[in-house]
Amino acid sequence: MDAVIARIIRERRASGIDAGDLLSMLLLAVDEGQRMTDQQARDEAMTLFMAGYETSSNAMAWTWSLLAQNPDAEAQLHAELDRVLAGLPPTLNDLARLTYTDWVIKESLRLYPPAHGFGRQAVRRVEIGGRVLPKGSIIFIYPYLVQRDPRWFNQPDAFKPER
C-alpha cells in the first residue's frame, strides 16, 4: 500500500496535473509558505484512507448501542423521524429539521470518537500547560479523554443528546 501511494504521489507531482481530487489538494496545499513533502502527503493520504475504513461502521454501532441502552432517547429519535420524514426516505432538505437526530449522532461521537487518538508534529517551539515542546515534537491528542473530562461536560459519561 505504501509503495503504491508513494508511486502515485511521484507520478502526480511529475505530471503537475490538478485532478481536482483529494490528492491534488494535499499536493497543492501550502502551509507557512511551503508545500507538503512527498512523505507528508503520503502520511496524510494513509491517514485518510485508514480513517475511512472502520470509522463509519463503528460510529453507527455505538449509536445503535447507546440508543438500545436509552429507550427514551430512542423513542424521541423515532418520533422525530416519523414526524419529519412521514415514512419517506430522507433528503438533504430534511437534514436541517432532524435536530434531535443530529444531537444523537454528535453525542454518540463525543462518547465514542471514531479516532481514539491522533498525532501531530509541532512546527515550532510551543508551550502547552507549562511545558515547553521543541519544534519537531510529536503531540498526541486523545478525543476520548477530552470529551469525557468533567471540566468540559456535566456527567461526561452519560448519553445526553440534548446537551
Is 132 contained in some domain? yes
Which pLDDT score is estimated for 136? 95
Nearest-5° Cα angle at 37, 18 to 16: 25
Could you tell me the CA-to-CA distances from 27 to 20, 33, 36, 50 in Å, in that order? 11, 13, 6, 19
Task: Give the single-character DSSP code of 119.
Answer: E
> pLDDT tens digit string along 12-59?
999 988 999 989 999 998 888 899 999 999 988 888 877 777 788 899
> pLDDT tens digit string along 11-23?
999 998 899 998 9
The CATH number that applies at residue 37 is 1.10.630.10
Which pLDDT score is estimated for 131? 95
pTM: 0.67
Distance from C-alpha of 119 to C-alpha of 52, rounded to nearest angstrom? 17
Number of domains in the chain: 1
Distance from C-alpha of 70 to C-alpha of 159, rounded to nearest angstrom? 8
Distance from C-alpha of 115 to C-alpha of 108, rounded to nearest angstrom? 13
Is 153 contained in some domain? no
